[in-house]
């Protein structure tokens, strides 16, 4: 029998506690009652001192869920510093208004996820005089991603119960004490390198490429020399999905200076989420300041009104784009900051995100223009503010790059990301004049006050930047770059004018802040939301399809079948792999879709919380669900042909297109960016194509054709130098 709460919740070394705290640790508390005697229709409930459990009103007590024939459970998530919960168990008849029975003895106290005394038996004296005895189990585990699941549920109206019985949509199982034949510890001897396979040539390995090299080619400079004409690419614009709009609506509009914190910070709000398991009504976190809160009254009408309201916001966003003043149809994000503050890095990341969302976006790097016009090996003197030739040369290339960006916008470009230091008012005034009547401007300033990070960035610069490619002496390069930096510092003026976003010390994902001024509208709002959630903490993201499903064997698309024998073998191998790869990563989590094949693939993995996301469900094949491609070709030849012609935009009748899938995956991308602990995503072919394309920066049109083979793990390593990819093939 379990006694009090597990001790690891509140103990452990300070380092360990800090690590968990940083990982956004919450306490998952599980209250269980067991009685092997059948108790007719008496349902165990919990009631107590806080409104969520009825404020001592038995009629508002919270029912426990039946976990097995004899076991009842109530699971919930609280922050480690939650308010003391004073409660009792109670038995209530399921169907009648007959009296209920409160357990005997004093009430129980839950503090910091732990019961204040040994979990004694719960005794109930019935009217007949019979005494019913229940064993009580209380357990508290540190876990971070419940907040993610709960907040996800709170603003998404699309969750649905798992189709796999007895598997709640958020669950955690503990690591086995001994390793069985296929158990995790048996597999810890696994040599991961043995399974490594080559990555495709288009893989996500930005680490080895300096981001500035991948920016737009200077069209004005190249065409002037006659060596190349500028290729104008097809424009891709996606109308924003209304259902995504209300997610960040609270933070987009600010006419005066405001400060936003990442979602992370919200984890410190004291709230309680009840995990109702399969098919039960959910409670969601309330934004009110009440310590324990519930939203049980969220009826269908209230829920359904959310997308409608969001639709109105989206309509306004489209109006912004189509009907507003001409300059509002194009947006220039102008980077500001001293050298080595992550401007190019941030610009490249934002470009990737906006392109993935379908916005026609280009990254213009003034350094590239400078190197082309004036050579790559200019010394620090070139960057002195009292060197008029240098100043003029730098202003000239900035203006050239800006004009190129405007020309591209006039050809249909939507968002230009203009990457240079732009670190004094005079330069920014010049740019504002160039933009007048042609595009809207937002300054994006990156500020870093951590000398260690700046030193690391400088060293990375010397290794990566083409400015030092010809400098054989690292120390000499370092010295020159530091002098260049000092030259900029002398005349640096932080942004105080116009619309701006300031990222201040946003490297680690906690402790920093984002300030915004005069930011409004759909796209700027999305940009702020994205930036708020990004950071540089290194961590792996493992992407894998489920093990082979019975439908895969039959060649049927969609469906919700279980996994085949080969699929089950993969599930075991994957569990071994995850156990080994993430063995020192206690805060890691496993995300699946709500479909059986991913949940079953995840089931042998132990020791990590598992979360089901509806957004990770496979592309909805609508009326074609369950058919083979051959059957579609034969019975619906027009549909088959339309899909073949434009697989990205083709929407299955009553189903989805790849573009729809991308739109619904946006919260997943934001969450993957926000997480600081490793995540294993077990999902489906179409969904993983879309997710992978984001990390590998693949163009939208390629997404439906990206290869995501079964029984293979794609490891995406996020970190200070960008994204890196590694692949493991566990089975042939
Ligand atoms: N917001 C940030 N603050 C500080 N450093 C950052 C930030 N974002 C990224 N970095 C780090 O800065 C390094 C150098 O960035 P880079 O974009 O080349 O600098 P810049 O363009 O400002 O000269 C990157 O490799 C990354 O590790
Ligand atoms: O877009 P295409 O190439 O049809 O690929 C998506 C298809 O992949 C499948 C397998 O054929 O995914 P999965 O088995 O990974 O869930 C189908 O369910 C899905 O419709």
Report phi then psi at 423, rounded to 5: -95, 10
pLDDT of residue 616: 97
Catalytic residue, from 184, 439, 448, 624: name it: 448
Model pLDDT, residue 342 = 95
- Give per-residue pLDDT as tens, 371-387: 888 888 888 999 999 99
pLDDT of residue 364: 96
Shortest-distance Cα residue to atom 6 of ligand 2: 686
Tokens of 728: 């493991």
Q: 548 labelled as ligand-binding?
A: yes
pTM attached to this predicted model: 0.68
Query: ipTM of the assembly?
Result: 0.89
Q: Is the pLDDT of residue 515 over 70?
A: yes
Could you tell me if 606 and 534 are in contact, meaning their C-beta atoms sit under 8 angstroms apart? no
Lowest-confidence pick of 1-5, 46-50, 126-130? 1-5
Q: Lowest-confidence range among 13-17, 336-340, 467-471, 490-494?
A: 13-17
Nearest ligand to the CA atom of 337: 1
Ligand 2 center–CA 621 separation, angstroms = 9
Q: Which residue has the higher pLDDT, 258 or 14?
A: 14
711 annotated among ligand-binding-site residues: no
For ligand 2, whether the C-beta of 552 sits within 6 Å is: yes
Mutate-to-test residue for ligand 2 from 686, 703, 709, 711, highest number of ligand atoms within 8 A of CB: 686
Q: Which protein residue has the closest C-alpha to ligand 1 atom 10?
A: 342
Question: What is the overall mean pLDDT for the chain?
Answer: 78
User: With 60 as the cut, is the pLDDT of residue 302 above it?
Assistant: no
Please indicate whether residue 618 is annotated as part of the active site. Answer: yes
The least confident of 110-119, 361-370, 489-498, 574-583 is 110-119
| Weakest-pLDDT range from 74-88, 446-460, 587-601 | 74-88
> Where are the extended beta strands (E) located within 552-700?
589-592, 609-612, 679-683
- Does the active-site annotation cover 560? no
Count of CB atoms situated within 10 Å of the CB of 647: 15
Residue 631: per-residue pLDDT: 96
Sign, CA dihedral 418-421-423-429, equals negative
Are 709 and 548 within 8 A, CB to CB?
Answer: no
pLDDT at 35: 84
- Known binder of ligand: residue 445? no
Closest atom of ligand 2 to CA, residue 705: 3
448 is known as an active-site residue = yes
Question: 89-103, 197-211, 403-417: which has the highest mean pLDDT?
Answer: 403-417
- 343 in contact with ligand 2, CB cutoff 6 A: no
Which residues, at least 6 apart from 520, have a Cβ–Cβ distance to it below 8 Å?
252, 253, 254, 255
Ligand 1 centroid to residue 345 C-alpha, Å: 5
CA–centroid distance, 455 to ligand 1, in Å, is 11
Which residue has its alpha carbon closest to ligand 2 atom 2? 686
Max avg pLDDT among 290-294, 316-320, 500-504: 500-504
- The answer to whether 547 is annotated as binding is yes
Q: What is the bridge-based pairing of β-strands 42-48 and 85-93?
A: antiparallel
What integer pLDDT is reported at residue 326 of this predicted model?
A: 53
Instruction: Identify the pLDDT of residue 71.
Output: 84
**285, 87 contact by CB (below 8 A):** no
pLDDT at 15: 59
How far is residue 240's CA from residue 538's CA, in Å, rounded to a whole number? 31
- 585 and 660 Cβ atoms separated by less than 8 Å: no
User: Which residue owns the Cα nearest ligand 1 atom 12?
Assistant: 342
Check whether 550 is labelled as a binding-site residue: yes
Q: Is 446's C-beta closer than 6 angstroms to any atom of ligand 2?
A: no
406-456 pLDDT, tens digit per residue, is 999 999 999 999 999 999 999 999 999 999 999 999 999 999 999 999 999
Rounded distance between C-alpha atoms, residue 344 and residue 419, angstroms: 6
Confidence band (pLDDT; 50, 70, 90) for 292? Answer: very low
pLDDT recorded at residue 109:
87
Query: pLDDT band at residue 119, thresholds of 50, 70 and 90?
Result: low
Percent share of the chain, pLDDT over 90 = 50
CB atoms within 10 A of CB 50: 21
The predicted pLDDT at position 153 comes to 44
CA distance 626 to 704: 19
Asked if residue 291 has pLDDT above 50, the reply is no
Q: Decide if 546 is catalytic.
A: yes
Question: Which percentage of the chain shows pLDDT scores above 70?
Answer: 72
């Amino acid at each position: 029998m379990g006694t009090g709460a597990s001790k690891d919740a509140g103990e452990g070394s300070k380092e360990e506690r800090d690590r968990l705290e940083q990982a956004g640790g919450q306490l998952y508390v599980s209250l269980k009652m067991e009685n092997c005697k059948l108790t007719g229709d008496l349902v165990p409930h919990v009631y107590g001192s806080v409104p969520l459990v009825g404020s001592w009103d038995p009629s508002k007590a919270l029912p426990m869920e039946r976990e097995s024939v004899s076991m009842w459970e109530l699971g919930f998530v609280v922050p480690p510093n939650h308010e003391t919960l004073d409660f009792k168990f109670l038995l209530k008849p399921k169907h009648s208004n007959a009296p209920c029975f409160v357990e005997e003895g004093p009430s129980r106290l839950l503090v910091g996820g732990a019961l204040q005394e040994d979990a004694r038996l719960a005794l109930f004296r019935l009217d007949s005089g019979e005494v019913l005895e229940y064993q009580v189990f209380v357990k508290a585990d540190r876990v971070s991603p419940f907040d993610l699941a709960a907040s996800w549920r709170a603003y998404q109206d699309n969750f649905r119960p798992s189709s796999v019985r007895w598997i709640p949509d958020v669950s955690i199982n503990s690591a086995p004490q001994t390793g069985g034949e296929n158990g995790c510890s048996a597999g810890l001897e696994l040599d991961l390198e043995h399974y490594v396979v080559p990555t495709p040539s288009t893989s996500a390995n930005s680490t080895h490429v300096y981001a500035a090299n991948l920016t737009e080619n200077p069209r004005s400079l190249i065409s002037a020399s006659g060596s190349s004409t500028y290729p104008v690419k097809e424009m891709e614009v996606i109308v924003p999905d209304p259902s995504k709009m209300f997610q960040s609506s609270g933070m987009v509009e600010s006419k005066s200076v405001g400060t936003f914190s990442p979602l992370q910070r919200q984890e410190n709000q004291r709230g309680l989420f009840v995990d109702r398991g399969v098919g039960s009504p959910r409670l969601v976190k309330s934004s009110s300041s009440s310590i324990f809160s519930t939203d049980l009254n969220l009826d269908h009408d209230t829920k359904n009104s959310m997308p409608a309201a969001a639709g109105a916001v989206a309509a306004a966003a489209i109006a912004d784009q189509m009907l507003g003043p001409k300059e509002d149809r194009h947006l220039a994000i102008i980077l500001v900051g001293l050298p080595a503050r992550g401007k190019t890095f941030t610009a490249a990341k934002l470009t990737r995100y906006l392109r993935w969302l379908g916005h026609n976006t280009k990254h213009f790097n003034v350094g590239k223009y400078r190197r082309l016009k004036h050579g790559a090996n200019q010394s620090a003197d070139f960057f002195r503010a009292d060197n008029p030739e240098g100043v003029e040369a730098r202003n000239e290339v900035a203006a050239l790059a800006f004009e190129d960006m405007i020309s591209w916008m006039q050809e249909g470009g939507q968002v230009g990301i203009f990457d240079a230091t732009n670190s004094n008012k005079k330069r920014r005034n010049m740019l504002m004049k160039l933009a007048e009547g042609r595009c809207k401007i937002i300054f994006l300033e990156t500020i870093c006050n951590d000398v260690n990070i700046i030193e690391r960035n400088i060293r990375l610069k010397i290794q990566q930047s083409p400015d030092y490619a010809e400098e054989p002496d690292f120390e000499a390069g370092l010295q020159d770059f530091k002098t260049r930096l000092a030259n900029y510092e002398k005349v640096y003026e932080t942004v105080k004018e116009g619309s701006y976003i300031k990222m201040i010390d946003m490297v680690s994902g906690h402790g920093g802040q984002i300030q915004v001024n005069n930011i409004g509208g759909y796209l700027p709002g999305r940009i702020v939301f994205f930036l708020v959630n990004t950071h540089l903490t290194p961590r792996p993201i493992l992407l894998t399809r489920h093990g082979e499903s019975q439908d895969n064997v039959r060649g049927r698309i969609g469906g919700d079948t279980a996994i085949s024998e080969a699929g089950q073998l993969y599930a075991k191998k994957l569990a071994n792999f995850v156990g080994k790869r993430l063995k020192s990563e206690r805060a890691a989590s496993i995300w699946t879709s709500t479909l059986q094949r991913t949940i079953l693939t995840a089931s042998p993995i132990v020791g990590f919380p598992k979360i089901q996301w509806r957004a990770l469900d496979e592309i909805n094949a609508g009326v074609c669900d369950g058919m083979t491609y051959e059957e579609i070709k034969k019975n619906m030849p027009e549909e088959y042909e339309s899909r073949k012609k434009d697989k990205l935009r083709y929407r299955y009748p009553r189903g989805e297109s790849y573009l729809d899938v991308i739109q619904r995956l946006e919260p997943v991308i934001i969450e993957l960016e926000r997480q600081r602990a490793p995540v294993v995503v077990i999902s489906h072919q179409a969904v993983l194509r879309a997710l992978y394309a984001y990390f590998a920066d693949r163009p939208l049109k390629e997404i439906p054709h990206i290869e995501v083979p079964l029984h293979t793990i794609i490891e995406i390593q996020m970190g200070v130098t960008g994204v890196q990819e590694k692949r493991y093939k566990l089975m042939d």
